[in-house]
Amino acid sequence: MKNLHSTEEKYRFSSEAELIFEETLKREVPNREKEETWSNTELDGKTPFLDVFEEMADEPYDIRIANAIVRSWLETNPRIYPGDIVLGVARPRRFVYEHFSWGIQNQSWNQDLRRHPAYADKLSDILRRMDKLYGPEMQRDGYERKLLPRKAEIFGEDTDTSGLMWVGGYQGHTVPSYPLLLSLGIDGAKEKVLHYMKEYGEDEEKTLLYRSMLVILDGFTEYAEQYASAAKKAAEEFPEYREIYLEAAENCLAAAHKAPETLGEAVQLMWFYCLWDWCDCVGRLDQYLYPFYVKSLNEDGREKTENYICALWIKLFENGIHNVTLAGVTPSGNDATNELTYLLLQLCRRCHKTHPRVSVRFHDGSPEELMKLVVKMWSEGMSDPTVASDNNVISGLCKYGVPLDDARDYTILGCQEIEIPGKSNFGCEDGMINLAKVFEYALNNGCNRFGQRIGPETGNFTDFKSADELFDAFEKQVKHIVPIWAELTNYGVDIRNANRAKLVKSIFTDSCVERGLNLDAGGAVYNYGVVETAGSAAVADSFAALEKLVYNEKKISPETLKAAIDANFEGYEKERQMLLNAPKFGNDDDAADKWCVRVLDCFWSEIGKYKSRRGDVFTGACSLLESGIEMGRYTWAMPDGRHAGEPLSNTIGPREGNDTSGVTAMLNSVAKLPLEKGIGGTTLNVLLPVGTLTTEEDREKVAVAMTEFMKNGGQLAQITTANLEDMKDAQVRPECHRDLIVRIGGFSIEFVQLSADTQNEVISRYGNA
Amino acid sequence: MASELLNISGNVFNIQRFSLQDGPGIRTTVFMKGCPLSCIWCHNPEGLSDECELSFDVKKCIGCGECAKICPVGAHLMKDGVHIIERERCTSCMRCVGVCPSRAIEQAGRIMSAREVIDELMKDKAYYKENGGVTLSGGEPLLQPEFSKVILAESKKRGISTAVETSGFADKDVFMSVASLADIILFDLKLCGNEEHKKYTGVSREKIDINLKAAADAGIPVILRCPIIPTVNDNIEHFEGIVSKAKTVKTLKEVHIEPYHTVGLAKHRLIGTESLFETEPLCFERAGEIADLISKKLDVPVKVSK
């Protein structure tokens, strides 16, 4: 029996699986290494959406969109790689397509498409045809007609609110119910839809939804059968793979109809469905497949079992699936870690790339080997897996009213978000608020720095006698901005709902079919909203600096401070230095940490008073990707000594370079935050000093640090271990460092793909390591 | 422990959390000011003097002149736009430290009570587990024995494992009074012969050897820490010396090879002292070779410190 826990040598799979691996890593897949994960087959010049919308002009919109989705899959030619035992590849991004997050997308702006030879002679024709497609259902229309005018109405046409918020959002990732898919199969799902269609017979709107769901399911059957035929044909053409292709054909046929009985049927069905779900996230993979895995081990032996798991992983890897979650507790509270958990981690260890992101859940009873393996993977240069704390997330979800068993079944998805798989639509990234801008308004009596009014008059800064008085002003500005954000963001929800594109997800998300509601109409069981939180550390640091230097020690007068900020510290370097050297969040120093707690508590509590149009309240999150840098560009100088334009933190952690008291101090600071109100998911990058993970002994120490962090209030964390020299060299010779992967916000990304600004920012973090 | 005992104060120049190199587990290292040795390669020169010193980093200076304004003896001067400290005038009143906005001027060393130190140690209590904990280092903890004893005893009382990193240079009763409160001793082994030891560190090995034996006799686990300094002790005779010394320590757990680095040189400049010694750092490869060499002749792990 091989040791799946091994942290020593990398795991060797069965000889066949090893061959598959080698083949895969050799083959060229367009765009595999880009973030464009949903378009990794070449462009083909086809226009299925436009065709269907024109051909079916008389049909209701819902029926057209369902047919367009189906057509776009059926028109993507089956592709079978040599030796493929699990079949199916993603389809190209065409001029109109449906996206797991945005819904129907107009890509007429896309220069790659415009320039592509496949479309060269058809371009003007396509653009003309697309013009006719605009209607209330199209996102851009909703955005331009509703959201932007309303925003201008609220703030005033000429008022500068750049860098304050982002609304309407991405509203993206959800994990549909793979257990439901695997237990019903496609035929079972059709029966279920038909059952409810009969039940709601009178309701036209619901009937239309059910009809469009049936179009999808019938299309899915046809698609799977198409692949079955292709595999049979391939079996004749390539005798050396005959057995494999014949088996794949059987699996495809099964996937077209029935609930799977074997591992092969299960992974094929999962994979087809995952493709149709636009390669979104697959949730708790080690849980969903485990029964099939055990059965296969017993009936077919280890080699065949590993081949299937391996083949599925390669599909997830090659097609850029967003997130896979492993381990944690089961809905009944037992340890969910199993053999498959380790096998999947070992596979991830072999495919060292940015996708799929892997998240591992930990609870008090998680096996020590699991953390050991995770740390070992970090030490090998991976920033995956992300670790997630069951303690924090489950109790946070419960406080928002999620029943314990469902809370225990949470998954990580997207970049670093949290949801209940198969039951929720948290609207990952409904929008964002930059608290640093809100702070600017508090400092300017409710105006932006140009004197344009944004919020209520909350007093002149120079009249305040304490940091608490300024905090009151900040709180009032927060209370003013939050409902505006919520209103605008809900237009985004409306726009997506009007789109009615998430049919594939809706069929397999609990309660959508039962209630006859599309996912974006609030069809899921849990419909919380999520606000991304930018600038919390900079605001906390600003309060801490003001409290110490202006109000307690009185070393800087309020007037001087205000003048220094207004001047972006030009001529005030002495004051700036004093501010820079005031206590900073991230050093386990309550003088600063308490402010970060207050700021987040104030903001996230306020957010929780408003509801997403999907039905439940908004919650906090912080998975900013590169937005901390972007928002920073629009944010003026602040009393923490930060110059105008400098980056804000990309995570819930300290501003880059401000944590100078060691890793444990930083972890303690973050664990003090009210992260249970940030159940949308709050990322934290832990930057370990170069060389910290080289010996077994050191790795054990890091394992202890991360385990304790998660026990004591931490939520999510990821480790960056790339080394400084490599990054500097990569700036000079990018071609030599394509394998250099770093974490930014919730994102694993190739260092060389980053802008020079972002590269410098990552490097400056290392300067303090 | 009677709580008034925790009022005892000592001079500490740094407390470093998440120390991974100063003993088993995750540790917080307390660097205590003052050292009876004067190793020519000293990498913590700010730990040499037992008094607080003025530290000045010209790179951080913004030339605001606040220090010059407040200095009662005119020790801070601006010459051709460059900030110079005339240290011979300085009376270490430290007034300039309080007015320097950019922390270019800082005080090396801080008088802390044992209670303050313990509060700091407790912040990482959750991370220590059974084997991690506190390490007293320096400087030389044996120069502040009463302070050290209070910290060690209180730590043990609170379930924090204790370690002392020491040159071993002290009277035996002083040494044992501190060492007996340590769960492990990181014992320096700089040079093996009396003469050489005196030449490079300023003191002879006699007391040190007595204490090393006493620690082992008392059953206190020992890690030997061997700085390897090119041109001083990077030679086979010294490695053989390490092996034979190591064999006399019944409670030996590990031997650490500590390659010379040049960080100490920059620190010298900060406190206005000068190092009379400079050589190339010892590369990790060479340190690894030395560790292998020694390892072959001993039954305990020989590791290279980073």
Shortest CA distance from B104: residue in chain A: A577
CB B164 within 8 A of CB B32: no
- Evaluate if residue A511 carries a pLDDT over 70: yes
- Evaluate if residue A405 carries a pLDDT over 50: yes
β-bridge pairing A716-720 and B105-108: unpaired
In DSSP terms, which residues pair with A748 in a beta bridge? Answer: A743
CB A662 within 8 A of CB A695: no
CB contacts under 8 A, A 682-711 vs B, are 691-692, 694-695, 698, 701, 704-705, 708, 711
Return the pLDDT at A36.
45
Residue B276 at interface with chain A, using a CB cutoff of 8 Å:
no
- Evaluate if residue A67 carries a pLDDT over 70: yes
CA distances from A472 to A445, A461, A557, A602, A690 (A): 12, 11, 20, 10, 42
3-class DSSP state for residue B122?
helix
Gap between the terminal Cα atoms of chain B: 37
Of A665, A692, A698, the CB nearest to B17: A665
- Token pair for A740: 């250099």
Return the pLDDT at A116.
80
CB A378 within 8 A of CB A722: no
Shortest CA distance from A579: residue in chain B: B101
Give the C-alpha separation, B108 to B140, whole Å. 15
β-bridge pairing A411-413 and B27-32: unpaired
For every residue of A666-720, DSSP letters joined together read HHHHHHTS-GGG-TT-B--EEEPPTTTTSSHHHHHHHHHHHHHHHHTT--EEEEE
Return the pLDDT at A685.
87
Q: Provide the pLDDT confidence category of residue A142 given band limits of 50, 70 and 90.
A: low
Identify the helix (H) or strand (E) that includes residue A529. strand A529-534
What is the residue-level pLDDT of chain B in tens, covering all 306 positions? 568 899 999 999 999 999 888 899 999 999 999 999 999 999 899 999 999 999 999 888 999 999 999 999 999 998 888 899 999 999 999 999 999 999 999 999 999 999 999 999 999 999 999 999 999 999 999 999 999 999 999 999 999 999 999 999 999 999 999 999 999 999 999 999 999 999 999 999 999 999 999 999 999 999 999 999 999 999 999 999 999 999 999 999 999 999 888 778 878 888 999 888 888 888 878 999 999 999 999 999 999 887
Shortest CA distance from A663: residue in chain B: B18
Who wins on pLDDT, A1 or A739?
Answer: A739
Q: Which of A35-39, A52-56, A406-410 has the lowest mean pLDDT?
A: A35-39
Predicted TM-score of the model (pTM): 0.92
Give the C-alpha separation, A458 to B228, whole Å. 64
Candidates A548, A569, A701, A702, partner chain B, best to mutate (most B CBs within 10 A)? A701
Residue A573 at interface with chain B, using a CB cutoff of 8 Å:
yes
Of B16, B102, B132, the CB nearest to A581: B102
Residue A132 at interface with chain B, using a CB cutoff of 8 Å:
no
Return the pLDDT at A145.
75
CB contact (8 A) between residue A668 and residue B123:
yes
CB B133 within 8 A of CB B163: yes
Q: Where are the alpha helices (DSSP H) in A618-679?
A: 627-633, 663-671
CB contact (8 A) between residue B26 and residue A662:
no
Q: Provide the pLDDT confidence category of residue A135 given band limits of 50, 70 and 90.
A: low
CB A406 within 8 A of CB A37: no
Shortest CA distance from B305: residue in chain A: A695
Give the C-alpha separation, A322 to A415, whole Å. 7
How far does Cα A661 stand from its chain's mean position? Answer: 30
CB contact (8 A) between residue B62 and residue A704:
no
Q: Provide the pLDDT confidence category of residue A35 given band limits of 50, 70 and 90.
A: very low
- Evaluate if residue A172 carries a pLDDT over 90: no
pLDDT in tens, B183-204: 999 999 999 999 999 999 999 9
Of A691, A695, A704, the CB nearest to B26: A704
3-class DSSP state for residue A235?
helix
Give the C-alpha separation, A746 to A680, whole Å. 12
Q: Where are the alpha helices (DSSP H) in A518-557?
A: 536-545
Q: What's the gap in Å between the CA of B102 and the closest CA on chain A?
A: 5
- Cβ-based contacts of A578 with chain B (< 8 Å): 101
Q: Locate tokens 């020519």: which residue?
A: B40
Of A573, A664, A692, the CB nearest to B127: A664
CB contacts under 8 A, B 11-40 vs A, are 16-18, 20, 25-26
Give the C-alpha separation, B34 to A415, whole Å. 51
Burial category of A579 from C-beta neighbours within 10 Å (exposed 0-12, middle 13-18, buried 19 and up): buried
CB count, 10 Å around CB of B79? Answer: 7
Write the Ramachandran bin of A103: left for phi over 0, alpha for psi from -120 to 50, otherwise beta: left
Mean pLDDT to the nearest integer, A203-222: 97
3-class DSSP state for residue B82?
strand
- Token pair for A284: 């708790």
Return the pLDDT at A38.
44
Of A662, A695, A704, the CB nearest to B16: A662
Return the pLDDT at A526.
96
CB contact (8 A) between residue B20 and residue A668:
no
- Evaluate if residue A37 carries a pLDDT over 50: no
Phi, psi values for residue B63, rounded to 5°: 70, 30
Q: Provide the pLDDT confidence category of residue A719 given band limits of 50, 70 and 90.
A: confident
Return the pLDDT at A170.
64
Return the pLDDT at A132.
74
Tell me which DSSP letter residue B92 carries: -
Residue B296 at interface with chain A, using a CB cutoff of 8 Å:
no
Of B66, B103, B124, the CB nearest to A664: B124
CB contact (8 A) between residue B17 and residue A661:
yes
- Cβ-based contacts of A663 with chain B (< 8 Å): 18
Q: Which of A98-107, A359-368, A608-617, B89-98 has the lowest mean pLDDT?
A: A98-107
Q: What's the gap in Å between the CA of A701 and the closest CA on chain B?
A: 6
pLDDT in tens, B233-274: 999 999 999 999 999 999 999 999 998 887 788 788 889 998
Mean pLDDT to the nearest integer, A415-436: 91
CB contact (8 A) between residue B306 and residue A691:
yes
- Evaluate if residue A160 carries a pLDDT over 80: yes
Candidates B16, B19, B20, partner chain A, best to mutate (most A CBs within 10 A)? B20
Q: What's the gap in Å between the CA of A750 and the closest CA on chain B?
A: 28
- Cβ-based contacts of A548 with chain B (< 8 Å): none
CB contact (8 A) between residue A574 and residue B101:
yes
3-class DSSP state for residue B128?
helix
CB contact (8 A) between residue B20 and residue A662:
no
Query: CA angle at residue A79 from A73 to A82, to 5 degrees?
Result: 160
Residue B106 corresponds to which amino acid?
E
Contacts of A175 (CB under 8 A, 6+ apart): A280, A281, A282, A283, A411, A413, A419, A421, A422
CB A189 within 8 A of CB A217: yes
Q: Provide the pLDDT confidence category of residue A92 given band limits of 50, 70 and 90.
A: confident
Give the C-alpha separation, A451 to B227, whole Å. 63
pLDDT in tens, A530-586: 999 999 999 999 999 999 999 999 999 999 999 999 999 999 999 999 999 999 999
Residue B283 at interface with chain A, using a CB cutoff of 8 Å:
no
Q: Provide the pLDDT confidence category of residue A768 given band limits of 50, 70 and 90.
A: very low
Q: With CA atoms as reference, report the closest residue to A516 among A65, A194, A184, A257.
A: A194
Residue B194 corresponds to which amino acid?
N
Return the pLDDT at A42.
60
Give the C-alpha separation, A739 to B125, whole Å. 38
Mean pLDDT to the nearest integer, A119-142: 74
Who wins on pLDDT, B44 or A111?
Answer: B44
Question: What's A485-520 look like in SS3?
Answer: HHHHHHHHHHHHHHHCCCHHHHHCCCCHHHHCCCHH
- Cβ-based contacts of B102 with chain A (< 8 Å): 577, 580-581
Return the pLDDT at A1.
47
CB count, 10 Å around CB of B279? Answer: 14
Return the pLDDT at A138.
62
Mean pLDDT to the nearest integer, A130-158: 77
CB contact (8 A) between residue A708 and residue B20:
no
Q: Provide the pLDDT confidence category of residue A593 given band limits of 50, 70 and 90.
A: very high
Burial category of B250 from C-beta neighbours within 10 Å (exposed 0-12, middle 13-18, buried 19 and up): exposed
Burial category of B276 from C-beta neighbours within 10 Å (exposed 0-12, middle 13-18, buried 19 and up): exposed
CB A702 within 8 A of CB A662: no
ipTM of this predicted complex?
Answer: 0.94
For every residue of A260-274, DSSP letters joined together read P-SHHHHHHHHHHHH
- Token pair for A372: 């050991």
Give the C-alpha separation, A180 to A509, whole Å. 8
3-class DSSP state for residue A481?
helix
Give the C-alpha separation, A489 to A540, whole Å. 26
- Token pair for A660: 């100078």
Return the pLDDT at A525.
97
Burial category of A597 from C-beta neighbours within 10 Å (exposed 0-12, middle 13-18, buried 19 and up): middle
Q: With CA atoms as reference, report the closest residue to A169 among A603, A520, A654.
A: A520
Phi, psi values for residue B215, rounded to 5°: -60, -45
Average pLDDT, chain A: 89
pLDDT in tens, A262-320: 999 999 999 999 999 988 899 999 999 999 999 999 999 998 999 999 999 988 888 87
Q: Provide the pLDDT confidence category of residue A83 given band limits of 50, 70 and 90.
A: confident
Return the pLDDT at A231.
98
- Token pair for B154: 């209180």
Of A574, A692, A694, the CB nearest to B64: A574
Burial category of B150 from C-beta neighbours within 10 Å (exposed 0-12, middle 13-18, buried 19 and up): buried
pLDDT in tens, A429-468: 789 999 999 999 999 999 999 999 999 999 999 999 999 9
